[in-house]
Amino acid sequence: MKRGADLYNILIVKYGEIGVKGKNRYLFENKLIKNIKNMLKPLGEYNVYKEYGRIYVDVNDDNYEEVMEEVRKVFGIVGVCPGIKAEKDYDVLKETALKLIEQKIEEGAKTFKVESRRGDKSLPLTSQEMSIDIGGYILSNVKDRIKVDVRNPEVKVRCEYRELNTMVYTDSVPGYGGLPMGTAGKAMSLLSGGIDSPVATWMVAKRGMDIECIHFHTYPFTSERSREKVLDLARTLSRYCGPIKVHCCNILEIEKEITEKLNREETTIHSRRFMMMITQRLAEQRHCQAIVTGESIGQVASQTIYGLTCTNAVCSLPVFRPLIAMDKSDIIDIAQEIGTYDLSIVPEEDCCSVFAPKKPITKPKLERIEKSEEKLDIEALIEGAMATIETIVCEVE
């Protein structure tokens, strides 16, 4: 008997929302196939294809786990099943099912159930009759080492008799769901070195949007290490999103002007409005349809509903805030799951903390904020900051 890892030669890719896209479904499927191939490029060339309304990846016995781990990260996928594809022979189908059950018995399974699909109607047995027959065949060979439980089995053996081959699989590794990257437009995300913005970026990418990022800094008041931390976060996100362009923008002169000429307690709101104005302009230049931030109601002073109203006022593009109603603990859970948390908690100063007032205003009034900014040459400050932009492409090394 071969080990379980020696059995698998195919991955069955399960998708969710794509299945209800009607006549446009093939467009989403084709994009998903392309994204899977791109995700697997660092591992080599893999045959990814569509057949019988499903997507498959051909693997071999020594790499299926590594490939499966990468495939499950592709947005649009809800699960990946390692399976065994064999010749079109009903006896071979039964023997393959037995091999998988033998492996599960070795792993400690006590109960099982067979679920069958008859794709080729020339087989004289119905799907239900197949399940009964294959289950009986398994029991006659394993004796009392495992029992049938049709209601709550530890193992479900899924057997398919198809027009060109047979297929057997048991396990399903969950994916992240969502929609394939590139099927919902493009967004510009404000990426800092904190916990929230990487999670927000990931969540919007999960809904099918291509992502570019803008990172604001005040070098030399913030260090080169602070910028590298953000680029490392972008590289981590690129495991899911593919290569990400990060536009690094120095707003030191803006912060100096705000600090020198405007009310100290309002500086955070003014800074945030300038960031949004610059992001809006860059987003338009980069043909983005939306802006993404990691803001959550009440988390900090600038994220009260009054502060959000003031920052929203400078944007004509939609501003997506996927974390807006989430608790910090829930955001941290996602950050840990996607691998950004440990990077985010490395202590480094950002442009906001360097110039932040001791007592920031929590209920700013838009009219007053706009009146204060009349003291500044807003257009010159924006153009000056945009002239500092340096673009770095971040991807998995």
Rounded distance between C-alpha atoms, residue 128 and residue 131, angstroms: 5
- In degrees to the nearest 10, what's the CA dihedral of 252, 257, 258, 262? 170
From residue 136, give the alpha-carbon distance in Å to each of 106, 284, 319: 20, 64, 58
Known binding positions: 190-191, 215-216, 272, 294, 303
Contact by Cβ (8 Å): 310, 273: yes
Contact by Cβ (8 Å): 159, 93: yes
Rounded distance between C-alpha atoms, residue 45 and residue 70, angstroms: 13
Alpha-carbon Rg for the chain, nearest whole angstrom, is: 27
Contact by Cβ (8 Å): 291, 187: yes
The DSSP string of 59-110 is --TTTHHHHHHHHTTSTTEEEEEEEEEE-S-HHHHHHHHHHHHHHHHHTT--
Known binding positions for ATP: 190-191, 215-216, 272, 294, 303
Rounded distance between C-alpha atoms, residue 167 and residue 11, angstroms: 11
Rounded distance between C-alpha atoms, residue 138 and residue 148, angstroms: 10
Burial of residue 268, with CB atoms counted within 10 A of its CB: 0-12 exposed, 13-18 middle, 19 or more buried: buried
Residues near 73 by Cβ (< 8 Å), separated by ≥ 6?
Answer: 39, 175, 176, 239, 240
Rounded distance between C-alpha atoms, residue 288 and residue 239, angstroms: 21
Rounded distance between C-alpha atoms, residue 320 and residue 338, angstroms: 20
